[in-house]
Amino acid sequence: MSRPAPSCLIRNIGTFVTGDYARPVRGADSIYIEDGLIREVGSGISRAADVVIDAGGITAIPGLIDSHSHPTIGEFTPAQNAQSWVTHYMHGGVTALISAGELHMPGLPTPPDARTAMALAHLAKRCWDNLRPSGVKVYAGTLLLVPGLVEDDFAALEAVGSRLVKFIFYDYSLLPSGEAERYVTWSRKRGIKVKIHSGGVSRSGVSQVAGIDIVKRLRPDIVGHATGGPIPMPEKEVERLVAETECALEICSSGNPRMVLKLMRAVGTSNAFDRVLIGTDTPGGTGVLPRGMLREIAYLSSVADVPPEIAIAMATGNVGRAHALPQGVLDVGRPADIVLLDRIKGSVASDALDSFGKGDLPGISAVLIDGELRVGGRSQQTPPPERQVTITGSHA
């Protein structure tokens, strides 16, 4: 790892949003950070620190974790021939990205054969292990599951630290062989999470259609873009995902906004808010969306009637828990990935949470990743927040 991060004290936080759906707001106004971890949370903490951030009464939330992203190599995305997208997302409050497969690699045969899929996962893992654009944590090396993999492949994935595998190109007419279920077993045995591309065909044109029956048969950990990416499974099947499976359910910016309302009604009925994850499913045909996560939180809060602090948990703590990551919740011992934000001047909202509730984006004033300031003052991707943080001390 890099040099030790300076110690940091954030004080004068107005609203403390935890990212934990069970306790989404906490009566605290200060966070003390050392060695990249949150060491103390409380009110009126006055410890000496290398960097002191006066939040000026604005809102703190955990750094956003995009549950469904498509990195390729570095900050270039061939999907839109665009550069620097990871840094742009960071300015939209994203501090971690989870790869749903590095399938935009130019020239990649789709579907890849098993050896090519393994080689791609290894290459992507190695690339992102050695690259942290603007400090953003990119969890890549997500194996695209195709016929012909053996258990040693899953052991090799575990050895390099890959965390996720994904059904997207797997030919489900082969299901009677039991191979796909074995993939799930081999993954689970090693703590590797299983995601499935759900719904209709993707931009690749060769992804496999997967509805409720395939999901119930394979029992993945996470139903990728359950409300469409871009095409959802039929409405009745989306609703059945909630009651008839225990899978985490992703809502992605690439999907069908009407289906989000259907899913959320079923989620409300079953009180399954802990199972909902927010991602963008970008870069891709939907574009490069630096403010995509903020927009999904605002949509869920303002149109689907999810309390904003719960919608934030769906974009932070829920994603971290579903993928067995340490971050996503602001608490002692957790990585200090933190975003400070407030209402934008001219908005009818009173603060950041009220902004989301009214469908407005808030503006970002600060982003910390592992306790290091990556944005300090204002974001390059949101309008400026009405109140901005004040920073003193030896920050870079």
Q: Does 66 bind Zn ion (CB under 5 A)?
A: no
Query: Which residue's CB is nearer to Zn ion, number 99 or number 134?
Result: 99
Q: Which of residues 253-292 bind Zn ion (CB under 5 A)?
A: 281
Q: Report the nearest approach of Zn ion to the CB of residue 281 (Å).
A: 4
CB-CB contact of 65 with 320 (8 Å)? yes
Q: Report the nearest approach of Zn ion to the CB of residue 124 (Å).
A: 14
As given in the structure block, the two tokens for residue 340 are 């400070």
Alpha helices in 271-382 (DSSP H): 292-302, 308-314, 317-322, 352-357
Chain length of the chain: 396
CA distances (Å), origin 229, targets 67, 233, 282, 355: 13, 10, 10, 27
Query: Which residue's CB is nearer to Zn ion, number 39 or number 166?
Result: 166
State the DSSP string of 69-118: E---BTTBBTTTTBS-HHHHHHTTTEEEEEES--TT-TT--SSPPHHHHH
Q: Which of residues 311-330 bind Zn ion (CB under 5 A)?
A: none
CA distances (Å), origin 269, targets 239, 240, 262, 274: 10, 12, 11, 13
Q: How far is CA 194 from the centre of its chain?
A: 15
Q: Report the nearest approach of Zn ion to the CB of residue 72 (Å).
A: 13
Query: Which residue's CB is nearer to Zn ion, number 34 or number 296?
Result: 296
Query: Which residue's CB is nearer to Zn ion, number 70 or number 262?
Result: 70
CA distances (Å), origin 195, targets 55, 144, 290, 354: 38, 10, 23, 33
Q: Does 100 bind Zn ion (CB under 5 A)?
A: yes
Q: Which stretch binds Zn ion (CB under 5 A): 35-43, 84-92, 97-105, 384-392?
A: 97-105
Q: Which stretch binds Zn ion (CB under 5 A): 100-108, 186-194, 303-311, 385-393?
A: 100-108
Query: Which residue's CB is nearer to Zn ion, number 281 or number 354?
Result: 281
Q: Report the nearest approach of Zn ion to the CB of residue 176 (Å).
A: 27
Query: Which residue's CB is nearer to Zn ion, number 139 or number 356?
Result: 139
Q: Report the nearest approach of Zn ion to the CB of residue 238 (Å).
A: 17
Q: Report the nearest approach of Zn ion to the CB of residue 118 (Å).
A: 20
Q: Report the nearest approach of Zn ion to the CB of residue 100 (Å).
A: 4
Query: Which residue's CB is nearer to Zn ion, number 282 or number 388?
Result: 282
Query: Which residue's CB is nearer to Zn ion, number 34 or number 281?
Result: 281
Q: Report the nearest approach of Zn ion to the CB of residue 18 (Å).
A: 28
Residues 375 and 93: their CA atoms lie apart, in Å, by: 9
Q: How many residues bind Zn ion (CB under 5 A)?
A: 2
Q: Which of residues 177-236 bind Zn ion (CB under 5 A)?
A: none
Residue 12, SS3? coil
Query: Which residue's CB is nearer to Zn ion, number 18 or number 282?
Result: 282
Determine phi and psi for 277, rounding to 5 degrees. Answer: -120, 145
**Cβ neighbourhood burial of 191 (10 Å; 0-12, 13-18, 19+):** exposed
Q: Report the nearest approach of Zn ion to the CB of residue 252 (Å).
A: 7
State the DSSP string of 146-202: -TT--HHHHHHHHHHT--EEEESS--GGGGGGSHHHHHHHHHHHTT-EEEEE-BS--
Pairing state of beta strands 37-42 and 15-17?
A: unpaired
Residues that bind Zn ion (CB under 5 A): 100, 281
